[in-house]
Amino acid sequence: MPMKVGPRNDTNKKMTSAGAMKMVKQVIKHSIIAATFVFGGQAFAGGIGDTVVAAPTMVPAAQPSNWTGFYAGGQIGFADAEVSSAAISLDGNGVALGVHAGYTVDLGDFVLGAEVDFDTLNIDIGQPAVLGGGTIADWMARLKFRAGYDFGQTMVYGTAGFAQLRLDESTDPNPANESSTEHGHVFGVGIAHQISSTMIVSGEILHHDFSDIAGIAGLDADVTTASLRLSLRF
């Protein structure tokens, strides 16, 4: 009896086609999942990399400077004193110790101020015959005005004013010669630096001129000092 194979073959073909389609769908599905995982992971990693921001470098802000105000302190330095005339030239040197106080006004780029200071000297300037011998430069006082340029926490300045020099004749064997206080002028330069808001360190070089000392025409005294100073601000 002849067999009918047509319908069965169609059914097998349909089943085979359905299975193939199912397999293709599974492959596509898994491929899409894999691609999503790979490319999505890369995109996610790239996103994280893009959002990482380096920590900012902390740069300390410059401290604003203001030189206005009162200050006071002490100084130590070297002093050289010379007495000269047409006939003599004698000198001596030693340590100078002192104190100072002043006030400055900060005008922006420029600083103006005034200061008083006092130094003990005790310098033997020799025994010029015209003075009778045994003359000691005992102490020196000053009233100075100064003008400086403000570089921020550092100031460079020039100064000028009036000075007094005490000459001690206590060891002079000639009783006719007496101790005296001479009047003259002072000028110089200096540099100051604010090491904190309340403390200033500075250096100063000064030259002093005293004419006709001891009332003797043509007899002059010159004193040069170089000092290191420490001041507290108020």
Asked if 135 contacts 126 with a C-beta cutoff of 8 angstroms, the reply is: yes
**Side-chain-facing half-sphere of 21: CA atoms under 13 Å:** 6
- Point out the least confidently predicted range of 3-7, 75-79, 223-227: 3-7
Out of 127-141, 147-161, 177-191, the most confident range is 147-161
More confident residue, 11 or 94: 94
Within this chain, do residues 182 and 112 fall inside the same structural domain, yes or no?
yes
pLDDT tens for each residue of 47-56: 544 555 566 6
Overall domain count for the chain: 2
**The predicted structure's pLDDT at residue 79:** 97
Overall average pLDDT of the 74-85 stretch: 94
Say yes or no: 53 and 75 in one domain.
Answer: no
pLDDT digits (tens, 9 = 90+) for 172-216: 555 556 778 999 999 999 999 999 999 999 999 999 999 998 888
| Cβ neighbour number for residue 16 with a 10 Å cutoff | 10
Q: Are residues 15 and 119 in the same domain?
A: no
Q: List the end-to-end C-alpha distance of the chain, in Å, as a whole number.
A: 130
Residue 173, domain CATH? 2.40.160.20
Same-domain check for residues 183 and 160: yes
Residues 79 and 192 placed together within one structural domain of the fold: yes
* Dihedral of alpha carbons 192, 94, 127, 91, sign: negative
Q: Please check whether residues 26 and 109 belong to one and the same domain.
A: no
pLDDT computed for residue 122 by the predictor: 86
What CA–CA distance (Å, rounded) separates 3 from 166?
149
Same domain, 82 and 41: no
Which pLDDT score, from 0 to 100, does residue 91 have?
A: 86
Residue where one domain finishes, among candidates 31, 58, 85: 58
Residue 64 domain-assigned (yes or no): no
The SS3 call for residue 12 is helix
26-35, 59-68, 155-164: lowest mean pLDDT where? 26-35
- In percent, the amount of the chain with pLDDT more than 70 equals 65
Range of the domain at 7: 1-58
Same domain, 173 and 81: yes
Q: Are 23 and 118 in a shared domain?
A: no
Q: Length of the chain, please?
A: 234
- Which residue's structure tokens are 């064997």? 173
Write the DSSP symbol of residue 150.
Answer: E
Q: Is the pLDDT of residue 24 over 90?
A: no
- Mark whether 89 and 190 lie in a shared domain: yes
Residues 42 and 145 in one domain: no
Confidence at residue 174, expressed as pLDDT on a 0 to 100 scale:
58
